[in-house]
Amino acid sequence: MTIAASVPAILRDAEWLAHRYDPGHDAFHFRRVSRDVRRAVPFLTDQHLGDEAAPLVLHRSDCRAAADGASAPIHFLFHSAYCASTMLAQMLDVPGTASSLSEPVLLNDMVGWRRRGAAPRDHAGGMDDALRLLGRSFEPREAVVIKPSNIFNPLARGALTLRPQARAILLYAPLRAFLLSVARKGLWCRLWCRELLESYLADGFVELGFEPRDYFRQSDLQVAALGWLAQQQAFAALLDWAPGRIASLDSEALTGDPVAAVGAAMDHLGLTDNRDAVAAHPALGRNSKSGTPFAAGERQRNLDAAEAAYGAEIEQVIGWATTIADQAGIPLALPRPLPIR
CATH number for the domain whose boundaries are 3-328: 3.40.50
pLDDT in tens, 194-227: 999 999 999 999 999 999 899 999 999 999 999 9
Angle (CA) 100-47-19 rounded to 5° is 50
Containing 109, the helix (H) or strand (E) segment is: helix 105-115
Q: What is the pLDDT of residue 294?
A: 59
Q: Where are the domains of the chain?
A: 3-328
- Cα distances from 107 to residues 63, 131, 187, 204, in angstroms, run 17, 9, 27, 18
pLDDT in tens, 93-130: 999 999 999 999 999 999 999 999 999 999 999 999 99
Closest CA to 228 of 206, 257, 213, 248: 206
The per-residue pLDDT string of the chain (341 residues; one tens digit each, 9 = 90 and over) reads 445 558 888 999 999 999 999 999 999 999 999 999 999 899 999 999 987 668 899 999 999 877 655 568 999 999 999 999 999 999 999 999 999 999 999 999 999 999 999 999 999 999 999 999 999 999 988 999 999 999 999 999 999 999 999 999 999 999 999 999 999 999 999 999 999 999 999 999 999 999 989 999 999 999 999 999 999 999 999 999 999 999 999 999 999 999 999 999 999 999 976 777 777 777 776 665 655 665 656 677 888 888 999 999 999 999 999 999 999 999 999 999 999 98
Please state the length of the chain: 341
Q: Which residues contact 237 (CB under 8 A, 6 or more apart)?
A: none
The SS3 of residue 64 is helix
User: Pseudo-torsion of CA 263, 265, 267, 272, nearest 10°?
Assistant: -60
Q: What is the pLDDT of residue 289?
A: 62
- Cα distances from 66 to residues 5, 9, 117, 267, in angstroms, run 10, 9, 28, 32
Distance CA 41, CA 48 (A): 6
Give the strand pairing for 27-32 and 56-59.
antiparallel
